[in-house]
Amino acid sequence: MLTVDFTRFPLAAGDRVLDLGCGAGRHAFECYRRGAQVVALDQNAEEIREVAKWFAAMQEAGEAPAGATATAMEGDALNLPFPDASFDVVIISEVMEHIPDDKGVLAEMVRVLKPGGRIAITVPRYGPEKVCWTLSDAYHEVEGGHIRIYKADELLGKIREAGLKPYGTHHAHALHSPYWWLKCAFGVGRDGEDAALPVRAYHKLLVWDIMKKPLATRVAEQLLNPVVGKSFVAYATKPHLPKAEA
């Protein structure tokens, strides 16, 4: 399930991509399939091991074109182990709401992004996220949990302050908002068979939707995304330096 829309965020074969806070690796895998040279970085060692296994399996299965590369590594988003201007593309999806120093993370992303490079940032959308916080303290009052809710203008302002130029936004995953509202209402810590019946039923619907991609739910989600899309997605570029500075 991708949050970044690659029709709005074009990726060229050979692009060097950093998936920052990659988690389970969904965007890193897609970039690898598209022929990029991918670095998937996260502070969670267990998730990085799993991402590395999937990269190896994809390579063995021939899922990535010739020239594509993929590396999974542990790292700190506030102290990236890369030289300046190392990447053509940076993706950070559903990460910044977890980090106290979000301006520091933005500064590091700008540092490692090449002039003219592109960046995609996704965060939980204000409205649906506010409902979750209202329904359940446990949803956000956990170690490593969400510490802020972004309004769109606030995030875009921080992106501009960091020296980036936003060029597009949209919302995604409207069908997932009701699932999280149900989770929060019935007990966010209850998973699997322990989850309440409405939560289990809706989860089955989401799995079916992800696997089958029926036209009806695709159309429904497109119509609902502007209203209750779970994620806010922003795209930006790093301006080229003026010739005198360069």
**Residue among 94, 120, 170, 152 at smallest CA distance from 9:** 120
In this structure, is the dihedral angle defined by the CA atoms of residues 75, 82, 158 and 115, taken in order, positive or negative? negative
Q: Please, are residues 99 and 148 in contact by the beta-carbon 8 Å criterion?
A: no
| Cα 126 from Cα 133, distance rounded (Å) | 10
Alpha helices in 121-190 (DSSP H): 126-135, 152-161, 176-186
pLDDT, one tens digit per residue, over 25-77 is 999 999 999 999 999 999 999 999 999 999 999 999 999 999 999 999 999 99
**Residue 232: predicted pLDDT:** 98
pTM (predicted TM-score): 0.94
| Cα 221 from Cα 240, distance rounded (Å) | 37
| Cα 206 from Cα 212, distance rounded (Å) | 10
Residue at token pair 């053509």: 88
Instruction: Categorize the per-residue pLDDT at 189 as very low, low, confident or very high, splitting at 50, 70 and 90.
Output: confident
Residue at token pair 């170690």: 143
C-alpha pair distances (Å), 3 with each of 28, 111, 121, 168, 232: 12, 24, 10, 14, 9
pLDDT, one tens digit per residue, over 190-215 is 888 899 999 999 999 999 999 999 99
Which domains does the chain carry? 75-236 (3.40.50.150)
Count of CB atoms situated within 10 Å of the CB of 22: 26
Q: Please, are residues 166 and 156 in contact by the beta-carbon 8 Å criterion?
A: yes
Q: Please, are residues 38 and 13 in contact by the beta-carbon 8 Å criterion?
A: no
Q: Please, are residues 127 and 180 in contact by the beta-carbon 8 Å criterion?
A: no
Residue at token pair 């977890």: 98
Q: How many helices (H) and strands (E) does the chain have?
A: 8, 7
DSSP per-residue codes, 56-125: HHHHHTT-S-TT-EEEEEE-BTTB-SS-TT-EEEEEEES-GGG-S-HHHHHHHHHHHEEEEEEEEEEEE-
Instruction: Categorize the per-residue pLDDT at 7 as very low, low, confident or very high, splitting at 50, 70 and 90.
Output: very high
pLDDT, one tens digit per residue, over 69-109 is 999 999 999 999 999 999 999 999 999 999 999 999 999 99
